[in-house]
């Protein structure tokens, strides 16, 4: 998931350099959404790892 975020971020930077502001804004917003989805999944994994999968 972070690979996709990095890809869209690179696309946004290259598009911004060449002046394609619409494409840059779209790619940046997609990268932001994917990054926040990754953060949510990561937090869920941390919480489940600390509670549900704890050996008794």
Supply the DSSP string of 8-55, one letter for each residue. Answer: HHHHHHHHHHTT-HHHHHHHHHHHHHHHHHHHHHHHHHHHHHHTTT--
Mean pLDDT over each residue of the chain, to the nearest integer: 89
Q: Per-residue confidence at 49, pLDDT binned at 50, 70, 90?
A: confident
Q: How would residue 38 be classed by pLDDT, with cut points 50, 70 and 90?
A: very high
> What pTM was estimated for this model as a whole?
0.75
pLDDT value for 43: 95
What integer pLDDT is reported at residue 50 of this predicted model? 81
Average pLDDT of the residues in 35-43: 94
């Amino acid at each position: 998931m972070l690979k996709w975020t990095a890809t869209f971020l690179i696309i946004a930077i290259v598009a911004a350099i060449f002046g394609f502001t619409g494409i840059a804004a779209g790619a940046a917003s997609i990268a932001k959404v994917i990054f926040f989805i990754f953060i949510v999944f990561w937090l869920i994994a941390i919480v489940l790892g600390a509670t549900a999968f704890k050996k008794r």
